[in-house]
Structure 1
């Protein structure tokens, strides 16, 4: 299999962490999304990453769908609970982290516009979404079995690492009011799936 990704995409990082936690070998192909002919376009008409290319040539996107495929491809070790309620909570938490990523990406894109073209009301709304998401994520993380004590990191924690670390990378001041979440993230720094997927 081959994964098309960028070094800083939190969505790709989530998939890369899942691959490592489940011990699935996968070739990496880094793409430059600014290029008009980057290779991911041949497999995803939207040109977004990550894209997972299966061995039979079938492409899979986006990150949440790739995670579901990988869980089916290699069920053991499981990163998603099998019981319906546990599965629902895991997928809901993944969606929460995904929403934090979405809002942060949109905030970054708006910030990159020239100052006189930025929509300040939009920036405030996006910041509000990120902060609201992080508030819930910090509350959820307080009840998790710490990742350093687990043989495999569950999906909730994988997605939370990707989301929180991306906020830390792009808008670190958003995290000032979440010291417990930041401490949790830093405590996982030495876990291989976390350390080896940090943006370069």
Structure 2
């Protein structure tokens, strides 16, 4: 299989981490999303990544669908809990983490406009949403102690790492008020699926 990705995409990182946690071999091909033509375009008409190209040539996208496919492809070890309540909890946290990613990306894109063209209200709303969600993730992470050497991370933890890692890359000042969350992230830094997928 081949995964089309960029080195900074938190969505692609989520899939890359899942592949490593589940020990599924997969070639990664880096794409330049700013190029008029790039490899992922022929497999996803929206041109978005990640895209997983299966061995039969068919494509799976986006990251949430790819994760579900990987669980079907190799059910054990599972990153999505089988217990109904635990499953909903993991999916809820994944949705929260995805919202952080989406909103941070919107904040970054607005920041790239000329200063006199930026929507300051939008920037403040986006920052407020991200920080409110990070506060919730900080509370969630308090029960995730001693996971650095766990047999496998679940989807909630993978998504959290990707979301916080992306905020740290693009808006590190947002994280200053969340020392417990950052301490948890630091405790996880040497886990192979995390260290090997750090955004560049």
Q: What range describes the TM-score normalised by the shorter chain of this pair?
A: over 0.9
Task: Give the drift of 1:57.
Answer: 1.2
1:23 counterpart residue number:
23
Structure 1 counterpart of 2:180: 180
**How far is the alpha carbon of 1:158 from its aligned partner?**
0.6
Secondary structure in 1 matching 2:148: helix
Corresponding residue of 2:8 = 8
Q: What residue in structure 2 maps to residue 135 of structure 1?
A: 135
Alignment partner, residue 147 of structure 1: 147
Cα distance per residue 1:128-155 (max 9 Å; x no partner) = 1100110111111112243214111111
SS of equivalent to 1:34? coil
Q: Match for residue 85 of structure 1?
A: 85
Residues 2 and 28 in structure 1, CA contact (< 8 A), matched pair in contact too: yes
Q: Does 1:168 align with 2:161?
A: no
Where does the alignment leave 5 or more consecutive residues of structure 2 unmatched? Answer: none
RMSD: 0.8
Moved over 4 A (4+): none
**Map of 2:33 onto structure 1:** 33
Conservation of the 8 A alpha-carbon contact between 1:147 and 1:157: no
Contact 1:7/1:199 (CA < 8 Å) preserved in 2?
Answer: yes
Deviations 1:10-68 (A, max 9, x none): 00001000000000000111000000101111111111110011111111111111111
| Contact 1:167–1:175, Cα closer than 8 Å, also in 2 | yes
| Alignment match, 1:53 | 53
Provide the rounded CA distance (Å) in 2 between the counterparts of 1:94 and 1:4. 21
Paired residue total: 200
Note the alpha carbon deviations across 1:96-126, whole angstroms, 9 max, x for none.
1000000001100000111111100000111
Q: Contact 2:145/2:184 (CA < 8 Å) preserved in 1?
A: no
SS at match of 2:24: coil
Give the TM-score of the pair, scaled to structure 2. Answer: 0.98
